[in-house]
Structures are given as structure tokens and as C-alpha cells.
Amino acid sequence: MKIILRSGAVTAAIGVGLSLAVLPAVPAGAAAAIRVPCNDITALKNAINRANASANAGRIVLASHCTYTLTTADNPDDGLPEITGNVTITGRDTTIRRSPSATQDFRIFHVPAAGGPRTLTLDSLTVSGGSLPNFAGGGLWNNGTLNLNRTTVRDNRAETSAGIHNTGGRLNLDHSTVERNTATRNGGGILNGRNQLLDQPGTLTMKGGALLNNRALNDGGGGLENLRSTANLDSVAVKGNTAPRGGGINQFVGTLHLKSATLSNNIAVTGAGLRNSFSTATLVRSLVTRNTAITAGGGIFNENSSSVMLRDSRVVRNRPDNCSPAGSVSGCTDPTRTVTPLSSQVSPPAKGSKARK
């Protein structure tokens, strides 16, 4: 029998062999992604349990342009199983939410502290609708490591830390947004604090993205409450947040670093942009502007032997003043014109115009 070899086939075979030779080998233990059909909550819970049990990182891929609606809780406070391994959940214009008609109150995600690595990474998701009116962490509670990449935490409610509760954990946000969350006490958007049981401070790192239109109704930190912990915000907009103290950011016994950040249009009784108490804050190439305080510290309220350092930063056009008490922030000056107190509800005449009699 004659065997005929076509040159094209030989060339192709050789090419395939060479290409396979140079391709990197796939790790033998790498876990395949677990794909979850749109709004299949049972499959989503099963996928999280499988990912938790994976010896390697468990990867879950959700349906694009889909909303997964939770109507009941998986456990007393959480809509989904607790994260006890190293879990990554990826979507594309995908939302996980608590149903508006749910009769039970619960948050969406919980990453506990003890028992292993416990890391949750969310990519291109929206987390919304969580509700814990008598507890903390309406959207997410983190005591381990929580990474949010191009993710939005929106419209969650809780007594404390309505959007994200991070105590003693590592919270990393990359081009992510925390918006329209409401706490009846403190930490409307994020609370970053110390884990008292482990005596371990929280660490918040946020690059890009924003804290927008969050509210703390009866205490501090409309956008961010930083308590006995460290927060680093790089190229972040803190805008439109409200609280009695520290409308944008409230800090107590903490360390805050702002780089290329903007604090604007926040509202508070004291410290509309930033309230800094027993703490240290450093602002580099940052802007604090158009914030409004009812009494003092429209831009920054710096009290109790605290330190605020401005490096190539501006604190301007805040009401009724830029920094309070006067002289507490080096390089910060009061507005050059007199601002009418808010209680009068009368706007000052525009420059060059004539006041009506």
C-alpha cells in the first residue's frame, strides 16, 4: 500500500506540534470555572459551596446582563453562603440583589475571619438591596480579604456600615463605586474599623471609583467612617454624602492618606468634607471644595490634637468656612468673602450685583 504525504498536512502537523510545545502548561490542580445560569439561586449557592471547598481558587462565572434575586437568606444574616475559601465571582453587567419584596432582612455577602485564607473577589458586579436595620454590613461584611474590581455596591441599608463593613480585614477597591447606601447610625458607604476580638485594625485601599450620595443619619461618616484603622484613597471622588459629623469622611483614631482625591458637595453639621479627631490625615494633590457644614468645618474640621497635612492640595469654596478651628490646618485659609449662615436661608448677592432693598 502506498502512503501519500501531502506537504501541507506535514507542515500543519509540524506547526501544531511546535505551537503545543511553546504553550504554557495548565497547572494540573487549576479549578475549572463554575458557570451559573441566569438567576438560578440554587446553582449560585451550590457554586459558592463548591468554590469554598476547592483546594485552589474557586472561580464562578455568572451570566452577563442578568440579575440574580435573593428572596430568602441562606443563614440568619447572609443571603449567600459564607465565604470560607478563596472565591472569585465574575459577571458582566450582572447584579446580585436582595428582592425588594423579601420579608427577611439579610446582607448579600459575608467573609468571616477565622479558619483559613478566606478571600472573596468580585469582578464587574453590582451588589444591592441588602437590609439589616438592626445590625451592620447591609451589602457586605468582611473580616478576611475582599477585593472589588469594577464593582458597584448600591442601595443597601443597615444600622451601621450600610454598604460595606470591614473590621480587621483587608478591603481593596479598584475602580469601584459605593453609592446611595443608608445607615441609621454611622458609616453610610463604608465602615473601616478594628476587629476588637483579634485586636486587628482594618485596612482600606481604594484606587479610582467613588463614594457617592451615601448617608449616615445619626452619627459619623456619610461616605467613609475610618475608626482606629488605615485608609488609602487614590484618585477617588467622595461626593454628595451626608452625616451629622464627617459628611464625606469621618475619622477617629485613624490614619488617612488621600492622593489625587476630590471631596465635594458633602453635607454635615461639622466637618462636611472631612472630620478628623485624634487622627492623622495627609492630602496630596487633592481638592476639598463646595462642601457645606451647618456650624463649622465646611471643608475640614480638625479637632482633639489631630494633624492634617496638605501637600499641593487646596481647600476652597466651602461653607461656612474652609477649615475649623482657625489655624488648625496649616495652609488652609477661610473664604475671602463673608458667607451668609445657612439658617438665614438667604444667599449672598453675586459679586458686583446690587442687593434688593
Convert the pLDDT of each residue in 271-319 to its tens digit: 999 999 999 999 999 999 999 999 999 999 999 999 999 999 999 999 9
Q: Which residues in the chain show pLDDT less than 70?
A: 1-31, 114-116, 335-357
What residues does each domain of the chain span?
30-213
Percentage, residues of the chain above pLDDT 70:
84
15: which 3 cell numbers?
506547526
Read off the pTM.
0.86
Question: What's residue 30's pLDDT?
Answer: 53
Max distance between CA atoms of the chain, in angstroms, equals 114
pLDDT of residue 198: 85
Letter string b/e over residues 25-51, b meaning 16 or more CB atoms within 10 A of that residue's CB = eeeeeeeeebebeebebebbbebbbeb
Strands 177-179 and 210-212: parallel
pLDDT for 326 equals 94
Q: Give the burial class of 227: count Cβ atoms within 10 A of its Cβ; 0-12 exposed, 13-18 middle, 19 or more buried.
A: buried
3-state secondary structure of 83: coil
Please tell me whether the peptide bond between 320 and the residue prior to it is cis, using omega within 30 degrees of 0.
Answer: yes
The length of the chain is 357
What pLDDT is stored for residue 17 in this prediction? Answer: 38
Phi, psi of 226 (to 5 degrees): -115, 110
| pLDDT tens string 136-158 | 999 999 999 999 999 999 999 99
Q: How far apart are CA 232 and CA 320, in angstroms?
A: 28
DSSP string, 277-294: ES-EEEEES-EEES-EEE
- For residue 241, give the DSSP letter: -
With beta carbons less than 8 A apart as the criterion, state whether 84 and 50 touch.
no
The rounded distance, in Å, linking the Cα atoms of 300 and 262 is 13
Burial environment of residue 20 by CB neighbours within 10 A (0 to 12, 13 to 18, 19 or more):
exposed
